[in-house]
C-alpha cells in the first residue's frame, strides 16, 4: 500500500464510489456511510438484500457519539473493546441514513484495529463496514480472493493478507452476542460480569 493508494481511496469515497480496504479481520467494502446512493452501490456490488443492515466504520470509539446515543454501559464496552474486531450495535441518531440500517433503530459501529482502515476513516468520515464479498460467499483475506466483479468497480487498497476471523457482533443493551467471532469469549465474560 502506498500513499497514492490511500489518496485514490479517499477520493473515491468522496465521489460516492466504492473502496476495498484491509482490516484486522477480513477485507472490507467501503463507501460513504452517510450517502444513501453510495450505500446502495455497496448493496449492489455485494448482491446483498436491502433488508440486511450494513455497519459503519469509524476512526475512534469517541466518534460513535456523533452518530449514536450510547448508554454509559455501552460506552464502557466501547472503551474496553474498540478499536478491535468487534461490531457494537448502538441506538442510531438521525445522522445515520435509513439505507444503511434497513430502517432499524440500531447501527453496527466498527473501529478496526488496523492503521490503513482507521487512516481512511479519519480522512473520509464514516464508511461502510461490511466484508468485501458477494453475499453468501466466504470473506476475503487476500485481494485475489475478492470476486472480480467487486474488484472491477472499486479502488483497492492491498494491505497484504488479513487474519481472517470476522468481528463479533454484540448488542450490549440486550447483553447478547449476535454473531460470534474474534474475542467472543472475552466479550461474553465482560457482559456476564456487568449484568
Q: Measured at the alpha carbon of residue 141, what is the angle toward residues 63 and 129, in degrees to the nearest 5?
A: 25
Q: Residue 109: helix, strand or coil by DSSP?
A: strand
For residue 68, what are the β-bridge partners?
92
* Average pLDDT over all residues of the chain: 96
Which helix H or strand E contains 18, and what residues bound it?
Answer: strand 18-21
What's the helix, strand, coil split of the chain in %, to 5?
35, 20, 45
CB-based contacts of 73, cutoff 8 Å, min separation 6: 172, 173, 194
Cα–Cα distance between 148 and 97 in angstroms, integer? 29
pLDDT-above-70 percentage for the chain: 99
Closest by CA to 124, choosing from 47, 15, 1, 50, is: 15
Q: Given pLDDT bands bounded at 50, 70 and 90, which one contains residue 103? A: very high
Task: Please report which confidence band the pLDDT of residue 99 belongs to, taking 50, 70 and 90 as the band edges.
Answer: very high
Report the SS3 class of residue 96: coil
Q: What value does the CA radius of gyration of the chain take, rounded to a whole number of Å? A: 15
Structural domains present in the chain: 3-164 (3.90.870.10)
173: CB partners within 8 A, 6+ apart: 71, 73, 74, 89, 91
pLDDT digits (tens, 9 = 90+) for 66-86: 999 999 999 999 999 999 999
pLDDT-derived band at 1 (thresholds 50, 70, 90) equals low
Q: At what angle do helices 72-81 and 184-193 cross, to 10 degrees?
A: 150
Q: What pTM was computed for the model?
A: 0.96
Phi, psi for residue 177 in degrees, rounded to 5 = -90, 120
Q: What pLDDT was estimated at residue 63?
A: 95
Amino acid at each position: 500500500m502506498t500513499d497514492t493508494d490511500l489518496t485514490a481511496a479517499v477520493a473515491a469515497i468522496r465521489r460516492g464510489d466504492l473502496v476495498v480496504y484491509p482490516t484486522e479481520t477480513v477485507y472490507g467494502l467501503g463507501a460513504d456511510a452517510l450517502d444513501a446512493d453510495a450505500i446502495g452501490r455497496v448493496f449492489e456490488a455485494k448482491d446483498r438484500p436491502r433488508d440486511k443492515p450494513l455497519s459503519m466504520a469509524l476512526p475512534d470509539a469517541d466518534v460513535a457519539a456523533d452518530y449514536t446515543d450510547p448508554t454509559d454501559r455501552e460506552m464502557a464496552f466501547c472503551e474496553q473493546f474498540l478499536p478491535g474486531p468487534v461490531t457494537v450495535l448502538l441506538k442510531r441518531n438521525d445522522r445515520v441514513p435509513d439505507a444503511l440500517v434497513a430502517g432499524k433503530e440500531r447501527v453496527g459501529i466498527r473501529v478496526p484495529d488496523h492503521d490503513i482502515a482507521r487512516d481512511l476513516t479519519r480522512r473520509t468520515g464514516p464508511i461502510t463496514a461490511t466484508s468485501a464479498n458477494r453475499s453468501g460467499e466466504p470473506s476475503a483475506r487476500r485481494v485475489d480472493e475478492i470476486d472480480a466483479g467487486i474488484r472491477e468497480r472499486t479502488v483497492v487498497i492491498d494491505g497484504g493478507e488479513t487474519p481472517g476471523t470476522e468481528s463479533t457482533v454484540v448488542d450490549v443493551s440486550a447483553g447478547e452476542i449476535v454473531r460470534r467471532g474474534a474475542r467472543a469469549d472475552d466479550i461474553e465474560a465482560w457482559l456476564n460480569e456487568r449484568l
